[in-house]
C-alpha cells in the first residue's frame, strides 16, 4: 500500500536529525518572559540550522512571544515540555495585507514540529488589536461591520493569522505538540506530500472558522492518535485546485468535537478526494454531521472507506452531497463510498450548547433532520454502501412545526448551488434516512431508532436506481408508512425488521 511505502521513505531523512546539531533559541537571545518579541532570535536559530545543513531548533520550557516565523528545509522545531510559542497580540506583526501564519513553510523538504510544548495563537488578545486596527482604518476588510449568523461582527478570514500554514512541502512531521487559541484555521497543509501527524492536541474554541486541521490537496498523509476540539470542522479535507486532489490519506484513532462537523470532506472540492481511509474516530458534542462528505465544486470523490466511528450527542449522523455550485459546466462525481461500523446518538437539543462559539441556529421551522444521500437530477451519487450502522434519534416531531407530505416529494428543493449541509433542503419527510438521486445504494445491517414521537416515515428513497437492502431494522414504528420507495428501480429488499403486521409498512410508488 502506498501509505506504508511513503512512511518507510520518511525514516531515513528524520533519523539523521538526532545526530545533527541542536540550536537553542536562548543562545540567540530569546527570552522566556512572555513579553519580549523573540521573532528575530527564533528566526536566526532557524536560519543558522539551515545554513549548517539542518538540525533541531530547540524551544526550552518557558513562554516565548513571537510574531511570524518561517521554517527552512531539513529543520525540526522542537518544543520542550512546558515550552510555549506565544503568538504576538499585535496584528501588524503578521503583515499589512493578508495575515501571515505564525509558522510558515513553502516549498520545503524534511521539516518537522515536535515535542510536548504548545503553540498558542493568543487569539483573544490578538482579536482586540485586530478590531482596533479595523476601526482606525489601518486594514481593509469588507465583512467586519456586517453581522454574521450569530448577530456579531466578524473580520474576513485573510485578516486572521493561522497558527501553521505549510504549502508544497515534502516529508513533513508534526508530532506531540498542542495547538490552541487561533483565530481561523489552526493548521493548513496545502499540496503537501508525505505528511505524518501524530499525537497532537488542538483546542480551537477562540473564534469562528477555526477548523482543527485542514488537509488541502495533500497526498500520502497519515494522521493518527490526535485530539481536536474545534469551533468549526474538526478533521477537514479540502480541494481547491481542479488539477489536484486529496489522495492516499489515512486517519485513525482520533477524537474530535466540533460546532460544525466532526469529519468533513469539502466544502471546497474542485479537484476532489481519492483513496481516503478513516477509522477508529470518536466524536462528541458536535453540532452538525458526524460524517459530512461534500463534493460540490466539480471535483471527484471516489474510493472512500470510513469505519468504526462512535458519535454521541451529535446533531446529524451522515450527510453525503453531490452539488454544483461552481460556475463552469463541470459537474462533480461521487462514486464508491463505504461507511461501516458506525454508531451515532442524535439528541433532542442543541449538541454544542454552552461551548464558547456555538453553531448558528438553523433558520426556519423544522423537525430533526435525518441522515441523507443527495445527488442531482441526472447526476446521481453512485455506489454507496452503509454497513453495520446504528443511529438513535431522541427528538420529537410535530406537524405544527413543519410538514412535507409524501405527496410533495417533488417540491423538496434541489438547491444545487447552495452551501452544503444537512439542513440545506429544509424540512424532510423522513426522520431516519433520506436518499434522492442515487445509484447503487446498499444497506447492510442498518438500525434506525426513534425514541421520541415522530409522524414521518423512517426512510424515504426517491429516484434511486439499484437499491439493495440486506438487513434494515426499525424497532419503533411511529407512523405508517415506515419506508417509502418513490421512483426506485432494480431494488432488492430482504431482512427488513419492522414491528407489527400492517401491509402498509413499506410503500412503493
Kindly report the average pLDDT of the chain as a whole number. Answer: 94
Grid cell for residue 92: 501588524
| Ramachandran angles phi, psi of 92, nearest 5° | -65, -20
Statement to judge: residues 335 and 187 lie in one domain = no
pTM of the model: 0.95
Statement to judge: residues 195 and 272 lie in one domain = no
pLDDT of residue 148: 76
Pairwise pLDDT comparison (206 vs 352), residue with the higher score: 352
Given a cut of 50, whether residue 91 has pLDDT beyond it is yes
Q: How far apart are CA 443 and CA 467, in angstroms?
A: 8
- How confident is the model over 302-330, as a mean pLDDT? 98
Statement to judge: residues 255 and 233 lie in one domain = yes
| Ramachandran angles phi, psi of 170, nearest 5° | -125, 140
Q: Quick check: is 14 in a domain?
A: no
Q: How far apart are CA 216 and CA 151, in angstroms?
A: 30
Statement to judge: residues 232 and 310 lie in one domain = yes
Dihedral sign for Cα 376, 427, 410, 488, please: positive
**Model confidence at 10, in pLDDT bands (50, 70, 90)?**
very low
Statement to judge: residues 244 and 192 lie in one domain = no
Question: For 130-149, what is each residue's pLDDT tens digit?
Answer: 999 999 999 999 988 887 77
Statement to judge: residues 71 and 206 lie in one domain = yes
Q: Quick check: is 237 in a domain?
A: yes
**Model confidence at 19, in pLDDT bands (50, 70, 90)?**
low
Domain of 167, in residue numbers: 21-210
Statement to judge: residues 382 and 475 lie in one domain = yes
User: Is residue 419 helix, strand or coil?
Assistant: coil
Given a cut of 90, whether residue 203 has pLDDT beyond it is yes
- Last residue of one domain, picked from the residues 163, 190, 210: 210
Q: How far apart are CA 25 and CA 416, in angstroms?
A: 53
pLDDT of residue 3: 47
Could you count the other beta carbons within 10 Å of the beta carbon of residue 9? 13
| Ramachandran angles phi, psi of 158, nearest 5° | -60, -15
- Last residue of one domain, picked from the residues 210, 237, 257: 210
- How confident is the model over 206-215, as a mean pLDDT? 93
Q: How far apart are CA 419 and CA 286, in angstroms?
A: 19
For residues 196 and 170, is the Cβ–Cβ distance under 8 A?
no
Amino acid at each position: 500500500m502506498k501509505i506504508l511505502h511513503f512512511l518507510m521513505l520518511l525514516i531515513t531523512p528524520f533519523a539523521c536529525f538526532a545526530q545533527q546539531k541542536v540550536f537553542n533559541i536562548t543562545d540567540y537571545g530569546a527570552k522566556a518572559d512572555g513579553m519580549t518579541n523573540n521573532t528575530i532570535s527564533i528566526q536566526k536559530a532557524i536560519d543558522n540550522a539551515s545554513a549548517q545543513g539542518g538540525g533541531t531548533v530547540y524551544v526550552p520550557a518557558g513562554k516565548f512571544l513571537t510574531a511570524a516565523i518561517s521554517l527552512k528545509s531539513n529543520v525540526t522545531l522542537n518544543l520542550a515540555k512546558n515550552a510555549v510559542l506565544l503568538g504576538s497580540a499585535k496584528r501588524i506583526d503578521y503583515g499589512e495585507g493578508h495575515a501571515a501564519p505564525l509558522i510558515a513553510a513553502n516549498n520545503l523538504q524534511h521539516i518537522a514540529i515536535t515535542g510536548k510544548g504548545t503553540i498558542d495563537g493568543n487569539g483573544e488578545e490578538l482579536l482586540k488589536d485586530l478590531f482596533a486596527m479595523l476601526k482606525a482604518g489601518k486594514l481593509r476588510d469588507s465583512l467586519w461591520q456586517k453581522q454574521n449568523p450569530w448577530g456579531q461582527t466578524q473580520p474576513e478570514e485573510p485578516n486572521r493569522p493561522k497558527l501553521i500554514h505549510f504549502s508544497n512541502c515534502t516529508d513533513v512531521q508534526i508530532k506531540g505538540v498542542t495547538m490552541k487559541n487561533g483565530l481561523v484555521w489552526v493548521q493548513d497543509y496545502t499540496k503537501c506530500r508525505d505528511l505524518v501527524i501524530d499525537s497532537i492536541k488542538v483546542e480551537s474554541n477562540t473564534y469562528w472558522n477555526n477548523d482543527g486541521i485542514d488537509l488541502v490537496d495533500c497526498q500520502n498523509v497519515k494522521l493518527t492518535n490526535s485530539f481536536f476540539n474545534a469551533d468549526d470542522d474538526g478533521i477537514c479535507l479540502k480541494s481547491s485546485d481542479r488539477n489536484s486532489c486529496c489522495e492516499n490519506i489515512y486517519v485513525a484513532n482520533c477524537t474530535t468535537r466540533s460546532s460544525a462537523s466532526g469529519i468533513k470532506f469539502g466544502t471546497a472540492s474542485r479537484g476532489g478526494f481519492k483513496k481516503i481511509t478513516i477509522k477508529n474516530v470518536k466524536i462528541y458534542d458536535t453540532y452538525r454531521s458526524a460524517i459530512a462528505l461534500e463534493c460540490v465544486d466539480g471535483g471527484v470523490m471516489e474510493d472512500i472507506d470510513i469505519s468504526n466511528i462512535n458519535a454521541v450527542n451529535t446533531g446529524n449522523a451522515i450527510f453525503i452531497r453531490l452539488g454544483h455550485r461552481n460556475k463552469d459546466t463541470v459537474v462533480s462525481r461521487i462514486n464508491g463510498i463505504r461507511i461501516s461500523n458506525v454508531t451515532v446518538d442524535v439528541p433532542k437539543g442543541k449538541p454544542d450548547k454552552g461551548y464558547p462559539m456555538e453553531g448558528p441556529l438553523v433558520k426556519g421551522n423544522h423537525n430533526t433532520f435525518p441522515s441523507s444521500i443527495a445527488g442531482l437530477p441526472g447526476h446521481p451519487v453512485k455506489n454507496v454502501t452503509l454497513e453495520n450502522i446504528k443511529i438513535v434519534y431522541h427528538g420529537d416531531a410535530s406537524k405544527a412545526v413543519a410538514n412535507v407530505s409524501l405527496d410533495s416529494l417533488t417540491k423538496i428543493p434541489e438547491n444545487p448551488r447552495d452551501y452544503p449541509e444537512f439542513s440545506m433542503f429544509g424540512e424532510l419527510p423522513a426522520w431516519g434516512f433520506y436518499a434522492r438521486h442515487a445509484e447503487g445504494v446498499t444497506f447492510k445491517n442498518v438500525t434506525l431508532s426513534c425514541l421520541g414521537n415522530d409522524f414521518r416515515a423512517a426512510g424515504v428513497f426517491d429516484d434511486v436506481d439499484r437499491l439493495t437492502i440486506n438487513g434494515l431494522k426499525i424497532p419503533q414504528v411511529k407512523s405508517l408508512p415506515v419506508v417509502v420507495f418513490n421512483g426506485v428501480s432494480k431494488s432488492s429488499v430482504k431482512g427488513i425488521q419492522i414491528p407489527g403486521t400492517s401491509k402498509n409498512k413499506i410503500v412503493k410508488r
